[in-house]
Amino acid sequence: MASMAQWGWPAVRALRLWGAGGERAWARRPRIAGRGTPISSAGVSSVFGSGGGSKKEKLFLQDIAELIRARACQRVVVMVGAGISTPSGIPDFRSPGTGFYSSFQHSDVPYPEAIFELSFFLHNPRPFCTWAKEMYPGNYRPNIIHYFLRLLHDKGLLLRLYTQNIDGLERVSGIPGSKLVEAHGSFASATCTVCRRTSPVEDFWAAVMGDRVPSCAVCTGVVKPDVVFFGEALPQRFLLHVVDFPTADLLLILGTSLQVEPFASLSEAVRSSVPRLFMNQEAVGPLSWRPRSRDVLQLGDLVDSVERLVELLGWSQELKDLVQRETGKLSGQDR
């Protein structure tokens, strides 16, 4: 992947490209507060610290929920990885024994990562196409984690969602493109690798589903979806991080191994005073070996962790209603 230095453009450049923020153009199990109990300003100030050099207390999941409920955090940036899609049935990449890199076997592939290397794809695109066939839109559906993030957006709290995933389930859940940064691209568009013309994505899928290599209608070159392969530049929209992370007042990190750069380094880009909530099966990355005083690590099953946060927020019924409503829409589209 490209180095972080490649993306160190001034914030002014990013603002000129994308406009200024938001929707505008651009561990312990804690106690559960009563549903109708208002959050006092004293409670919020105790979480943020009251100044005067007072020592900051360690935060827990309850504290994050109180900050959100009190709307003390209204510019939430979210980073997600493959772990949020495993409940939808999509394997992650790196889990030993169950991840894609452990289980993928193809006689023409020297090692699993090769199907995401551009040089190998240009030499032999068939293994990637075989894998892409499994990712056909409609094969998988969003799960409760995607809809929790959608609820953050519906409540006006989501500044931006940065995703490593190429499955497109964030879009399917109803999160608008203006709120998404698909750092590793997506299957939503495709480009000829020879003449660089945009190719209809419907033609790409027709070829893949018919077990054919997608080819350009103009020059017959191999067509590749706009998924970022190893060694390729990230989408220009990734530059939004220059503006988003310094202005965030809460960072949520869900289901990512924080191993692939430059995405992983974004976890360090928020101000040191900003709480970071990390939900994952295990502690990884800088939050493991260089934690900050305002970090909250919620380890274990990701669905359980999200449901616990939703319960603390008092959003359980709203989330249930949203899931039922959106699932019904998708079921209707399938008929």
Annotated catalytic sites, by residue?
184
Q: What is the dihedral of CA 12, 196, 133, 90, to 10 degrees?
A: -10
Query: What's the per-residue H, E or C state across 288-301?
Result: HHCCCCCEEEEECC
Rounded to whole angstroms, the Cα distance separating 104 from 83 reads 18
Rounded to whole angstroms, the Cα distance separating 163 from 183 reads 6
DSSP for residue 235: P
**Residue position matching structure tokens 């274990």:** 300
DSSP for residue 124: -
The residue type found at 214 is P
Residue 298's DSSP bridge partners are 279
Query: 99 exposed, middle or buried (CB, 10 Å; 0-12, 13-18, 19+)?
Result: middle
E strands present in 156-233:
158-163, 180-182, 185-192, 198-199, 223-227
The residue type found at 256 is T
DSSP for residue 113: G
